[in-house]
Amino acid sequence: MIQATTERWSYTFLMTSLPAMPPRFDVARLPISPAALEERLARIPDEDLQVVEQMRDLLFWDRLGLLMSDEEIIKQYQAFLAETKNEIARQIVSFRMDVRTIVAALRCRRRGVPLPSVPSEWMGTIKRQFAEPSLGLGTRFPWIAAIDKHFAQGDVDEADRLILHIVYEQWSRWMAGRPASFESLLLYVARWDVIHRFVSRNRELGEKRMEQ
């Protein structure tokens, strides 16, 4: 069983050595390079590093998309929840799963295809109110209408950008006022992955424009 924070190891020095995260995700460059971040992560206890890597795999499924089916990824998510007792790690991954579930439901509705089988507390509501514009979740998640509008306009890039904004803002709120700890590292890494995804995508789009 994976325990929560490793008490025998202090995260104060590690967190103070990391560059501050920007208030927004849509920046021109990463606050810390991938190599430098990996070097920092290599210092933490193995059991904590295992939680970090499992969390990162589940935050952005495209890390596993070429190797695993959706069903296998869902099983990995369920195994993560069963094994990981760290509450912040569970909240980070569960929120990302909720966003993915809602976005997948919006896409399925537009394409006229069946809903995916996803373990989410909101799936019952989504199934019952599938025809409702915000899937019956507009009060809880007011951003649903904006994402659906982007899909309706065929603006997938803006929809993806809004999704990144949503998760980055949520994790930034959870980080506010939190002392240096394993949990603050988890939130740092989660937000770094959002920025890395955005910066990498912008670089790819720029290269495509140069080729045209």
Phi (first) and psi of residue 158, to 5 degrees: -70, -35
Residue 139 pLDDT level (bands cut at 50, 70, 90): very high
| Least confident span in 3-12, 75-84, 173-182 | 3-12
Give the Cα separation of 189 and 55 in Å (integer): 9
Amino acid at 61: W
Give the Cα separation of 60 and 130 in Å (integer): 25
| Least confident span in 10-14, 73-77, 144-148, 175-179 | 73-77
Reported as a single tens digit per residue, the pLDDT across 42-91 is 999 999 999 999 899 888 755 555 556 667 777 888 888 898 989 999 99
CA distances from 65 to 3, 74, 165, 199 (A): 28, 12, 22, 20
Mean pLDDT of 126-155: 95
Residue 106 pLDDT level (bands cut at 50, 70, 90): very high
Mean pLDDT of 110-137: 89
Residue 10 pLDDT level (bands cut at 50, 70, 90): confident
| Per-residue confidence (pLDDT) for residue 57, from 0 to 100 | 84
Which of 6-10, 109-113, 143-147 has maximum average pLDDT?
Answer: 143-147
| Per-residue confidence (pLDDT) for residue 212, from 0 to 100 | 45
Give the Cα separation of 68 and 186 in Å (integer): 24
Identify whether the C-beta of residue 59 lies closer than 8 Å to the C-beta of residue 168: no
pLDDT at 142 over 80: yes
